[in-house]
Structure 1
Amino acid sequence: MALDERTEMDIAGEAAQPYARRGACPTLARPMPTGDGLLARLRPQGGVLTVHQCAQLAQAALLHGNGLLEITARGSLQIRGLRPQTVEPFAEAVDAAGIIVSPNPVIELPPLNGAEFGDVADAAAMELLLRDRLAEFLQAPGLAPKLSIIVDGGGRFDLADVTADIRLLALSADEWLVAIAGDGASARPVAVGTADEAVTAVGDVLKLLLSSGWQKRCRDIDPERLVSVFTDMHAISRHPRAGATRSVGMHRMAGGMAVIGLKPRFGQIHANDLLAFLAFLGDLDVSDIRSAPDRYLFITGLSEESAAAVRQSVERFGLSADSDDLSSRIATCAGAGACASSFYATKALAETLIERCPEALDGSLDLHLSGCAKGCAHPRRALTISGAANGYHLVLDGLASDAPDAQIAGSDINSAIERLSRLIKSERQAGESARACLDRVGTAMITRALRQE
């Protein structure tokens, strides 16, 4: 069977396959059940919101959800606490605000995209071109629900450290590189050419995916089949990117303008705090607000003086402009009081960790505080404290659902954190990170120290 014939069968087979996809992401139209109601995830077209649109979104989160908004690890926005009867009114409020939410798959742009940020080509225009020309393939049910596409305009700010199935990188105003299965350094180039040729190449990759089997990822494409479609791919040079220029604090731009990067503490902000912050911004000359990977929020169009004023004031709104803020080194879920599935207040315990065990927060360890075994906030291995009916489960290097290395009674958690702090302080060698120290001393010594009275 020819490639195009097999692809047509996958596209036409939509009616035979229900939506309920394993591992599907929550969307505005299909929110996901969680412990605190339904969770909707959205990414505004181009990743850009005006201050007014952001305020309308916050008001809708208050009216139709529980008022909690989050920025995900890949920079999408999440609204928590929706109910079945408020899903449609919330979506209508988003539409009334003029917020355009494109259908899946998500096409990610660098949060600071555009000529003013050094882009050599228009990434937003390329996104629209992809969606227009390849709509039939992008909406095929045979695609993996978490298929990821990145369009990088080639400027100062990029997504080189974010992995994707398909990457488009502008090499110049007239030339695009298409690569698959990796980050900015590891993705495999398959084609280079004009915008039209790049779109055609992406379409060919999507056809390969659809003909390879149900919901396959680019890493699953057979190498021989890949070369049979992209016959010149081995002659294409890699163009590794240096890595994202993303951080909290001020970024100076041309003409005396500035961008300021902020982080909601623990990646979450209440709508009331966000509305108060937006009211504060109302007295400043702000262009727009953009969410970014690693749970960042960028405010653009500021003068350097205004950016400095924002930096001095954000803490009272639950935001941080401090690159040394230790809260950014802990992944937490909504926690008790916000999620009915959670056994403990994750953010309160995170504050205890910051106060009593700063030695663990040198950036070398992934730390995850999960209110239950589902591990919603960090689906990867980490030093995890998971809530349970009998107290806390400590997993030294694993998921919230893994068998615990130690069980800690609810009343003993603060003492256990202090014992972990003393262990790192006493055992760490000169120049050694917290992770290297714990790896060296080993699980048996760590669990024994945590059990000491």
Structure 2
Amino acid sequence: MSADHSRVRRACPGVAAPMATGDGLLMRVRHPIGGLDAGQAETIAEVARRFGSGVLELTSRGNLQLRGLDAAGLEPARAELEGAGLADRDPAAEAVRNVLAAPVTDIDPEAAMDVQPVARDLVRALGEHPRLRALPPKVGVLVEAGGGLPLDGVPADLRLEACTALGGVWFRVALGASSRTATVLGWTRAENVVDVALAVLERFVVLREGDVDPPGRVAGAVARFGPEALAPPGLERVLPGGDGVAARIPGYADAGIGTLLNGRAFGIAFPFGALRAEALQGLAEHIRAHDGRLCLTPWRSLLLTGAPPVEPDRVAEWGGVADPNDPRLAVSACIGQAGCSAGSTATRADAEAAVAAACGLLAGGGQVHVSGCDKHCGRPANAQVLLTAWEGRYELALQRAPARWETVLTRLESGQVEPALAALDAIAREEDGGNESRIEAMQRLEGTALTRRMNAKMNNGDSA
């Protein structure tokens, strides 16, 4: 790959087409279905050290980003990643390879089936389908099978969800949002699901081609043209044996860390999804001794399979978290001005202050995301409190309904983040009726009244 700027993306980077950021170039290794073996993990760690800053990031789509590369290192970095089976040489093929598979269906006895072979077949077919090169870069497909680590709360444009019904395994084909709110197109057998997925995505491309203002995501096409415009022929409209998939898929696995699946997997998360190459190298050495694997999850965690748990001291040394109750897991942040030219605040330092200030609110089910600009990169689907920077100051907003946010405070300095969230926590505690989380209690309040009470507590210093 040449280092000319025509190969540098402005968004949704890959290995073949990196993206310029405030701390150099960023490469994104697409979700490795089935995880990384020790050799692949060591290759990524070495590439990050030799050609980048050594900083890696786990993303909410199960990808892995390498930060701080320069133009001179792009070609050798790409060659090493491609040689390890982690990258496509063709940027157009790589751009459509946005498939997230449930991470451990091969070892999960409660999963309807192991969906990893289906996901691999879909990745291969996407790269070989010339018409689908026109897909917008953010369009993603999720392949799911229930079990102990379900992806039902993880958003996707196209959902392929396996469940057991009359006659064996069927896939529910649905569009957008979470499993419980997605628009269902119908049902198909496992042997047909890849062809069905390609047909749905091709219909989306055709609809975009005929539109003067084409929707960028599948949900936009559903809203504009209706679900029937995207449904290929041959789908069963009702699941044979009864539509019980929603009841059988367990609740949202919101951490994916600690000892899981009766000891078959061990998960380590990293605050803000950020880890150093040295941590990945250490994990590679740990799984090599046991011929294990590292599986990337959409919860910004790494699952070790086929290997024993890592000792707590080593997890802490690597900057990881293996306690599902650690309040740091409920706070996320983009890299901010430290690594992005669009960021205007030190988002992660401010997010660390948010943990200390609102630990009660977070323990009650809240999720805070701190964004350095209005693009909200990395915002998790279950974020309920949002801090958005505008020219060095924050707006604080609450999620009132899916995709509907209400701003309650504006022009907060970085030093006001902690008292603002402490005030929010105090009000939530005052309103808690006992049968709801503090977030739910707080969300009942009308915006103007909440703003007035938060300002009063911050001005009087009584938010404790």
TM class by shorter-chain length?
0.7 to 0.9
What corresponds to 1:385 in structure 2? 387
Residues 45-79 of structure 1: CA deviation (Å, up to 9, x unaligned): 41411123212202211222222111111221112
Shift of 1:42: 1.9
C-alpha change, 1:59 and 1:329, in structure 2 (3 Å) is same
What corresponds to 1:177 in structure 2? 171
Shift of 1:343: 3.9
- Equivalent AA in structure 1 for residue 385 of structure 2: L
Matched, 1:41 2:28: yes
What corresponds to 1:11 in structure 2? none
- Equivalent AA in structure 2 for residue 263 of structure 1: A
Shift of 1:333: 1.6
Shift of 1:418: 4.8
Matched, 1:445 2:445: no
Matched, 1:212 2:214: no
What corresponds to 2:3 in structure 1? none
What corresponds to 1:29 in structure 2? 16
C-alpha change, 1:138 and 1:443, in structure 2 (3 Å) is farther
Identity %: 25
Asked if 2 retains the 8 angstrom alpha-carbon contact of 1:261 and 1:321, the reply is yes
Shift of 1:251: 1.9
**275, 280, 303: which one aligns with 1:298:** 303
What corresponds to 1:367 in structure 2? 368
Residues 279-308 of structure 1: CA deviation (Å, up to 9, x unaligned): 4x2685251101101112101112xxx32x
Normalising by structure 2, report the TM-score.
Answer: 0.77
Partner-residue secondary structure (3-state), 2:129: helix
Partner-residue secondary structure (3-state), 1:177: strand
What corresponds to 1:145 in structure 2? 137
Tell me the matched-pair count.
424
C-alpha change, 1:317 and 1:139, in structure 2 (3 Å) is farther
Report the Cα distance in structure 2 between the residues aligned to 1:265 and 1:200, rounded to whole angstroms. 38
Asked if 2 retains the 8 angstrom alpha-carbon contact of 1:67 and 1:80, the reply is yes
Asked if 2 retains the 8 angstrom alpha-carbon contact of 1:333 and 1:370, the reply is yes
Report the Cα distance in structure 1 between the residues aligned to 2:333 and 2:204, rounded to whole angstroms. 34
What corresponds to 1:79 in structure 2? 66
C-alpha change, 1:370 and 1:167, in structure 2 (3 Å) is closer
Report the Cα distance in structure 2 between the residues aligned to 1:298 and 1:39, rounded to whole angstroms. 24
Unaligned runs of 5+ residues in structure 1 are 1-17
Report the Cα distance in structure 2 between the residues aligned to 1:413 and 1:210, rounded to whole angstroms. 43
What corresponds to 1:436 in structure 2? 440
Partner-residue secondary structure (3-state), 1:233: coil
Shift of 1:179: 0.6
Asked if 1 retains the 8 angstrom alpha-carbon contact of 2:256 and 2:299, the reply is no
Matched, 1:314 2:326: no
Asked if 1 retains the 8 angstrom alpha-carbon contact of 2:56 and 2:67, the reply is yes
Report the Cα distance in structure 2 between the residues aligned to 1:419 and 1:223, rounded to whole angstroms. 44
- Equivalent AA in structure 1 for residue 115 of structure 2: A
Report the Cα distance in structure 1 between the residues aligned to 2:146 and 2:426, rounded to whole angstroms. 47
- Equivalent AA in structure 2 for residue 210 of structure 1: V
C-alpha change, 1:291 and 1:426, in structure 2 (3 Å) is same
Partner-residue secondary structure (3-state), 2:75: helix
Report the Cα distance in structure 1 between the residues aligned to 2:18 and 2:378, rounded to whole angstroms. 16
Superposition pairs of residues 117-128 of structure 1, within 5 angstroms: 117=109, 119=111, 121-128=113-120
Partner-residue secondary structure (3-state), 1:46: coil
Report the Cα distance in structure 2 between the residues aligned to 1:412 and 1:396, rounded to whole angstroms. 15
Residues 414-438 of structure 1: CA deviation (Å, up to 9, x unaligned): 5555555555555655555332343
Residues 235-258 of structure 1: CA deviation (Å, up to 9, x unaligned): 7553332345563110254xxx63
Report the Cα distance in structure 1 between the residues aligned to 2:126 and 2:283, rounded to whole angstroms. 39
Asked if 2 retains the 8 angstrom alpha-carbon contact of 1:113 and 1:153, the reply is yes
Residues 312-361 of structure 1: CA deviation (Å, up to 9, x unaligned): 53112100010111111111122454445544433333332323332332
Report the Cα distance in structure 1 between the residues aligned to 2:426 and 2:146, rounded to whole angstroms. 47
Deviating 4+ runs (over 6 angstroms): 18-21, 401-404
Unaligned runs of 5+ residues in structure 2 are 1-5
Q: Which moved more, 1:409-418 or 1:342-351?
A: 409-418
Shift of 1:212: 1.7
Superposition pairs of residues 41-440 of structure 1, within 5 angstroms: 41-100=28-87, 103=94, 104-114=96-106, 117=109, 119=111, 121-133=113-125, 135-137=127-129, 140-153=132-145, 155-171=147-163, 175-182=169-176, 183-185=178-180, 186-195=182-191, 197-214=192-209, 217-219=217-219, 220-221=221-222, 222-225=226-229, 229-230=233-234, 232-234=236-238, 237-238=242-243, 239-240=245-246, 241-243=249-251, 247-253=256-262, 258-279=264-285, 281=286, 284-302=289-307, 306-307=308-309, 309-311=310-312, 313-339=314-340, 341-378=342-379, 382-387=384-389, 389=391, 391-397=392-398, 405-410=409-414, 412-425=416-429, 428-430=432-434, 433-439=437-443, 440=445
- Equivalent AA in structure 1 for residue 184 of structure 2: R
Report the Cα distance in structure 1 between the residues aligned to 2:204 and 2:364, rounded to whole angstroms. 37
Normalising by structure 1, report the TM-score.
Answer: 0.79
C-alpha change, 1:89 and 1:452, in structure 2 (3 Å) is farther
Shift of 1:137: 3.5
Shift of 1:277: 4.5
Partner-residue secondary structure (3-state), 2:68: strand
Cα RMSD of the aligned pairs, angstroms, is 3.7
Asked if 1 retains the 8 angstrom alpha-carbon contact of 2:429 and 2:438, the reply is no
Asked if 2 retains the 8 angstrom alpha-carbon contact of 1:385 and 1:392, the reply is no
Asked if 2 retains the 8 angstrom alpha-carbon contact of 1:346 and 1:370, the reply is yes
Partner-residue secondary structure (3-state), 1:40: strand
